[in-house]
Structure 1
Amino acid sequence: MEKKSEVKFALCCICAVGQFCTRLDGLDDAMQSRKRPGVGRVGGEPMPIHRKNMSIALVLVAASSTSALAGGFQRGTADTDILFEPGTVNTRASLTYIDPRRGFTSIDGQDGDFDNYTGDYLIPNYAISLGNDVFGCAATATESFAAEADYSGAPGGALPMQVSSTQSTSTADRTNFTTASSVSRTQRLAFDSQELGLTCRVSYQAESGRYSLLGGVFVEDFHFEGTSLGTTYIAPGVPFPVVNSRIDVESDGGYKAGFRIGAAYEIPEYALRIQAMYRSEVKHDEIEGDGTVTILNSLVQTLPAGTVIPVDSYFSEATSPQFVDIKAQTGIAPGWLLLGSFRWTDWSTNEVSVSSISNAAAGISSSSFAPYHWRDGYTAQIGVGHAFNDQISAAVAVGFDSGVSTGAETTYTDLYTLSGGVSFKANKMAELRFGGVVGYWTNGDQSTSQDSYYDATVGDDMVYGVNASFRLTF
């Protein structure tokens, strides 16, 4: 087995979309009295401000913008906002469903309706926090990055051919069939990363407002699955097939550690909060597993159809990208809240991925690659929330995600989103949120001149998502 490619593979794809159900209870009281920041007065005596029961917008949505819809393979984001909820103990569980509808309109010059290759998926998110106004910690769990693509609707039931009898990450080598001894066609790809984290907050109350420092650690794993169709030639450079097969592989990488650090500033009586959080990148290496090569048809008598050959599988180094997340909210009138967020993600680390198989005894050594060559992504959102009464509040927002595709891969073009959510607070202990999003993906194309190994176009497509979450406070 040749040395595994160390090319980075930034985890990011049909990512889910953020969360957008906003808590606005207590906003009326906060907005009715425009006091000097940090101090109120009762009978002429200074009175500390009260923390209002509001949280930064959890914007929920679907496949490629605003948090879970951010640019590439991003899905869930750790719910560290729970550190700002009132109460000694808080727990929150949410589930987001995303239905991204992206399909090719042409492949290598052949026009057609080739079905959606993006699959729908669920994103779970869990958090529990313990603390007070000065100090608190939250344990979180989510699916941080993932992707799934099924290309069986493409002509011939898979993507176009590439040379598999090489470990090269060069598009030129992958499309040079003059010396190829085997070729492959990608049929299905899927991977996911699960994140477990612990984040803490230390806060200081001053006359000018409330200052908080946040920091923590997390661990993240990596799991890859793939299916491709392979053809072995009678001799290198002689495109006469002697064996056709299906390759199925699974590779796993253990948990790797990362960290997050941030800060926040609040004036609770104005419902003002500005928060910034940095999440470090995580490199996954030693991604190994196993798989099978199933003979579909063969001219070799010792390899009849139906023969299954076990193989070892390997995946190139994978990097989940670093990002910076900025969120802000402020009261603008009694019962009204202005919300905004911005995220930069280092998607440019996502260049090329390589999946390899090997069985020395059977003389098997081949690989398949996927070029991305993404650029960094930017996601922005602005919205408004309103508290109708102490029990019901709602929010609506518009968002934009800059496409990360550069022409080597064309899934992640510019995305425009409209999202909304509503919060029902039954009492001081329980709150239920529902939300949804609709997104519009712009068209795009990829070409061999931009380091893709085949030409393709996508049209204007849509993405949809819904979310529900439940919080308990003690």
Structure 2
Amino acid sequence: MKKALLQACAVCVGTTGAYAGGIDRSGQGINLIFEEGTVVQFGLSYTDPDVSGTMPNIFGAGEPVDSGNIANDFFTPHLGFKTALTDQLDLAIIYDEPFGADIAYSSAYPLSINPFNPTQANSLRAQADIDAITALLRYKFDNGFSALGGVRVQRVSEARIGVPIVGDYSFDAGSEVDFGYVIGVAWEKPEIAARVALTYNSKITHNLSQTEVIGGASFETSTEVDTPQSVNLDFQTGVAPKTLLFGSIRWVDWPQLDVAPPVYTAAVGSSLVDYDNATYTYSLGLGYQFTDEFAGAVTLGYETDEGIPVSNLSPTDGFWSVGLGGTYSLEKAKISAGVRYTDIGDATADGAFGQTADFTGNSAWSVGFQITYSLG
């Protein structure tokens, strides 16, 4: 019963994805390390966001200009392997895509227009693909407590940004691989399906080499970029027969992410991408075992909003969400699926020439599935 419930809960929280703060994608979950025995796991989520706003036409009179749907849909994969090295020591290898971005504005949007060549078709845009492999160890003590620790190898495979209004500026960085770490503690009481896990994910510093182009001139430069540190608190407990209460709190230190390439910074006097505040993301759910083979769960999610101007390259401010998921258990496999709706918080984005942009009424749908197969 407990294993199926855990998977039903996890699919709502993890594999259905979310349109979270900053460029958060996977949530950097480590629930795989708590599976029993030796297992392999595959998950895939798909998120279809709808994010748009309007800005006054700074190049002429008339109605505000619509941005179009700036947020492209995306897939988030998850792969994992877990095994027990000894009675007290477990090992998990986890692949995920912790951070990412893929946005593009309408070519008619004021910030998509090169003032020196207004007829040039272009777009304010940003694309970043970041994936990671985490090797995680868990040592179990005799009193229900355990210690977690591991190494994360993270790769920036692509980072591209275009800001046409700044002399048709573009930023194109090459691939870079760097290292961070994960540490944590956990406590379990199997008799009531209780567990609390606290994990810390270190920041990872990437020294990017990129090409910056502005006003038709090209420059080869370098920039130090940190993906932010974060803390995850995950908890669960049985509250009635066949019923599990579960949830999580995630804190991400977004001000550590500051992209300040030298040419852009010299031209504009500010960073290309930065954040003023950390985010707190909360989730709470309830799972129920309907039959010996099937369990279901419902989750609610909330992320705090700051109510301050945000970057045009991440024009959202908080969210709330609701998700449904279920797991069907076979002899050696557990198959989970889920769906989540996210109401994306309204935001005011920095504009140009004293004007700002308003993003309201935005949302996202996410679906996902996960297969966990026991190897013994």
Structure 2 portions without partners, runs of 5+: none
Q: Is the 8 A contact 1:435 1:468 kept in 2?
A: yes
1:440 equivalenced with 2:343 (yes/no): yes
For residue 144 of structure 1, what is the aligned residue in structure 2? 98
Instruction: Please give the residue correspondences for 1:108-187 in structure 2 after superposition, counting only pairs within 5 Å.
Output: 110-131=63-84, 133-155=87-109, 158-159=111-112, 187=124
1:266 equivalenced with 2:168 (yes/no): no
Using the TM superposition, give the Cα deviation of residue 152 of structure 1 relative to its aligned residue in structure 2, in angstroms: 2.7
Q: Secondary structure at the match of 2:72?
A: coil
2:256 maps to a residue whose letter is: T
For residue 225 of structure 1, what is the aligned residue in structure 2? 160
Using the TM superposition, give the Cα deviation of residue 270 of structure 1 relative to its aligned residue in structure 2, in angstroms: 0.5
- Determine the C-alpha separation between the residues in 1 that align with 2:276 and 2:260: 12
Q: Secondary structure at the match of 1:83?
A: helix
- Determine the C-alpha separation between the residues in 2 that align with 1:103 and 1:283: 32
1:207-228 C-alpha deviation (Å, 9 max, x unpaired): xxx1111000111122212345
Q: TM-score, normalised by structure 2?
A: 0.84
Q: Is the 8 A contact 2:17 2:368 kept in 1?
A: no
Q: Is the 8 A contact 1:59 1:419 kept in 2?
A: no
Q: Is the 8 A contact 1:315 1:356 kept in 2?
A: no
Q: Is the 8 A contact 1:61 1:96 kept in 2?
A: no
1:391 equivalenced with 2:293 (yes/no): yes
Using the TM superposition, give the Cα deviation of residue 356 of structure 1 relative to its aligned residue in structure 2, in angstroms: 4.6
Using the TM superposition, give the Cα deviation of residue 389 of structure 1 relative to its aligned residue in structure 2, in angstroms: 1.7
For residue 31 of structure 1, what is the aligned residue in structure 2? none
Q: Is the 8 A contact 1:162 1:453 kept in 2?
A: no
1:220-256 C-alpha deviation (Å, 9 max, x unpaired): 1222123454787xxxxxxxxxxxxx66653124211
Q: Summarize the Cα distance change of 1:126–1:231 in structure 2 as closer, same or farther, 3 Å threshold.
A: closer
- Determine the C-alpha separation between the residues in 2 that align with 1:292 and 1:323: 33
- Determine the C-alpha separation between the residues in 1 that align with 2:25 and 2:303: 14
Instruction: Please give the residue correspondences for 1:373-392 in structure 2 after superposition, counting only pairs within 5 Å.
Output: 373-392=275-294
Q: Is the 8 A contact 2:39 2:83 kept in 1?
A: yes
1:466 equivalenced with 2:364 (yes/no): no
In terms of mean alpha carbon deviation, does 125-134 or 185-194 score higher?
185-194
The size of the alignment, in residue pairs, is: 362
For residue 223 of structure 2, what is the aligned residue in structure 1? 316
1:288 equivalenced with 2:209 (yes/no): yes
Q: Summarize the Cα distance change of 1:314–1:123 in structure 2 as closer, same or farther, 3 Å threshold.
A: farther
- Determine the C-alpha separation between the residues in 2 that align with 1:56 and 1:125: 16
For residue 311 of structure 2, what is the aligned residue in structure 1? 409
In terms of mean alpha carbon deviation, does 370-379 or 108-117 score higher?
108-117
Using the TM superposition, give the Cα deviation of residue 457 of structure 1 relative to its aligned residue in structure 2, in angstroms: 0.7
Q: Summarize the Cα distance change of 1:211–1:393 in structure 2 as closer, same or farther, 3 Å threshold.
A: same
Using the TM superposition, give the Cα deviation of residue 348 of structure 1 relative to its aligned residue in structure 2, in angstroms: 2.2
Q: Secondary structure at the match of 1:409?
A: coil
Q: Secondary structure at the match of 1:370?
A: coil
Q: Is the 8 A contact 2:102 2:127 kept in 1?
A: yes
- Determine the C-alpha separation between the residues in 1 that align with 2:52 and 2:97: 24
1:339-365 C-alpha deviation (Å, 9 max, x unpaired): 1111111012234543759xxxxxxx9
Using the TM superposition, give the Cα deviation of residue 409 of structure 1 relative to its aligned residue in structure 2, in angstroms: 2.3
- Determine the C-alpha separation between the residues in 1 that align with 2:258 and 2:309: 12
**Higher Cα Rg, which structure:** 1
For residue 357 of structure 2, what is the aligned residue in structure 1? 456
1:216 equivalenced with 2:150 (yes/no): yes
1:396 maps to a residue whose letter is: V
For residue 342 of structure 1, what is the aligned residue in structure 2? 249
Q: Summarize the Cα distance change of 1:289–1:204 in structure 2 as closer, same or farther, 3 Å threshold.
A: same
Q: Is the 8 A contact 1:185 1:228 kept in 2?
A: no
Using the TM superposition, give the Cα deviation of residue 290 of structure 1 relative to its aligned residue in structure 2, in angstroms: 4.5
For residue 181 of structure 1, what is the aligned residue in structure 2? none
1:62-99 C-alpha deviation (Å, 9 max, x unpaired): 99xx9754311011244521111112x11101111111
- Determine the C-alpha separation between the residues in 1 that align with 2:130 and 2:192: 38
Q: Is the 8 A contact 1:62 1:439 kept in 2?
A: no
Using the TM superposition, give the Cα deviation of residue 145 of structure 1 relative to its aligned residue in structure 2, in angstroms: 0.8
Q: Secondary structure at the match of 1:58?
A: helix
Q: 2:51 aligns with which of 102, 116, 120?
A: 102
- Determine the C-alpha separation between the residues in 1 that align with 2:130 and 2:172: 14
Using the TM superposition, give the Cα deviation of residue 111 of structure 1 relative to its aligned residue in structure 2, in angstroms: 2.1
Structure 1 portions without partners, runs of 5+: 1-22, 28-53, 164-183, 233-245, 296-308, 358-364
